[in-house]
Amino acid sequence: MHPFAYVAPSTVAEAVAVLDKHGDRARPLAGGTDLLVKARANVWELDAVVDIKNIPELMKLSVSNDGLSIGAGVPCYQIYDNSQIAAEYPGIVDGASIIGGIQIQSRAGVGGNLCNAAPSGDGICPLIIHSAVAKIASTGGTREVAVEDFCTGPSRTVLKAGELLVSIEVPKPAANSGAAYTRFIPRNEMDIAVAGVGVFVQLDASGKNFVSARIALASVGPVPILAKEAGNSLAGKPVNDETIATAAALAKAAASPITDMRGTIEQRKTLVEVLTGRMIKQAVERARG
Ligand SMILES: Cc1cc2nc3c(=O)[nH]c(=O)nc-3n(C[C@H](O)[C@H](O)[C@H](O)COP(=O)(O)OP(=O)(O)OC[C@H]3O[C@@H](n4cnc5c(N)ncnc54)[C@H](O)[C@@H]3O)c2cc1C
DSSP string, 14-72: HHHHHHHHHGGGEEEESS-TTHHHHHHTTSS--SEEEE-TT-GGGG-EEEETTEEEEET
Task: Using the 3D structure, point to which of 128, 154, 171 is the last residue of a domain.
Answer: 171
* Ligand 1 closest atom vs CA 75: 25
Q: Whole-prediction pTM value?
A: 0.97
At residue 191 the predicted structure's pLDDT band, cuts being 50, 70 and 90, is confident
Q: How far, in Å, from the CA of 208 to the mean position of ligand 1?
A: 39
Q: Do 104 and 208 sit in the same domain of this protein? A: no
**Range(s) of the domain holding residue 126:** 57-171
Please state the rounded mean pLDDT for residues 174-201: 92
Q: Do 118 and 182 sit in the same domain of this protein? A: no
Overall domain count for the chain? 3
Nearest protein Cα to ligand 1, atom 5: 100
What does the alpha-carbon distance between residue 222 and residue 256 come to, in Å, rounded to a whole number? 8
Q: Do 159 and 182 sit in the same domain of this protein? A: no
* Ligand 1 closest atom vs CA 164: 42
Beta pairing class for 151-153 and 67-71: unpaired
Q: How far, in Å, from the CA of 240 to the mean position of ligand 1?
A: 38
Q: How many CB atoms lie within 10 A of CB 198?
A: 33
For residue 7, pLDDT beyond 80: yes
Q: Do 231 and 249 sit in the same domain of this protein? A: yes
For residue 189, pLDDT beyond 80: no
- Cα distances (Å, whole numbers) of residue 99 to 76, 108, 191, 259: 8, 8, 9, 23
Nearest protein Cα to ligand 1, atom 1: 100
Residue 73: φ, ψ to 5°: -105, 0
Task: Using the 3D structure, point to which of 32, 51, 70 is the last residue of a domain.
Answer: 51
Q: Do 213 and 141 sit in the same domain of this protein? A: no
Please state the rounded mean pLDDT for residues 150-177: 98
- What pLDDT digit, counting tens, does each position of 218-259 carry? 999 999 999 999 999 999 999 999 999 999 999 999 999 999
* Ligand 1 closest atom vs CA 27: 47
pLDDT of residue 190: 66
What does the alpha-carbon distance between residue 77 and residue 15 come to, in Å, rounded to a whole number? 25
Q: What's the start-to-end Cα distance of the chain, in Å?
A: 51
Identify the CATH number of the domain in which residue 275 sits: 3.30.390.50
* Ligand 1 closest atom vs CA 58: 41
Q: Do 15 and 78 sit in the same domain of this protein? A: no
Which three-class secondary structure string do you get for 99-119?
A: CCCHHHHCCCEHHHHHHHCCC
Please state the rounded mean pLDDT for residues 31-39: 96
Identify the CATH number of the domain in which residue 34 sits: 3.30.43.10
For residue 2, pLDDT beyond 90: no
Share of the chain above pLDDT 70, in %: 99
Please state the rounded mean pLDDT for residues 72-78: 98
What does the alpha-carbon distance between residue 225 and residue 228 come to, in Å, rounded to a whole number? 9
- What pLDDT digit, counting tens, does each position of 145-156 carry? 999 999 999 999
Q: Do 144 and 122 sit in the same domain of this protein? A: yes
Top mutation candidate among 49, 70, 94, 115 for ligand 1, by most atoms within 8 Å of CB:
115
Task: Using the 3D structure, point to which of 13, 30, 51 is the last residue of a domain.
Answer: 51
Q: How far, in Å, from the CA of 244 to the mean position of ligand 1?
A: 33
Q: At what angle do helices 265-287 and 241-254 cross, to 10 degrees?
A: 140
Q: Do 198 and 162 sit in the same domain of this protein? A: no
Q: Do 64 and 29 sit in the same domain of this protein? A: no
Rg (CA), the chain: 19
For residue 114, pLDDT beyond 70: yes
pLDDT of residue 1: 79
Q: How far, in Å, from the CA of 20 to the mean position of ligand 1?
A: 22
Identify the CATH number of the domain in which residue 158 sits: 3.30.465.10
Q: Do 90 and 184 sit in the same domain of this protein? A: no
pLDDT of residue 233: 98
- What pLDDT digit, counting tens, does each position of 256-281 carry? 999 998 899 999 999 999 999 999 99
pLDDT of residue 266: 97
Give the length of the chain.
289
Q: Do 183 and 274 sit in the same domain of this protein? A: yes
In three-state secondary structure terms, 130 is coil
Q: Do 14 and 77 sit in the same domain of this protein? A: no
Q: How far, in Å, from the CA of 66 to the mean position of ligand 1?
A: 27
> Average pLDDT over the chain, rounded to whole?
96
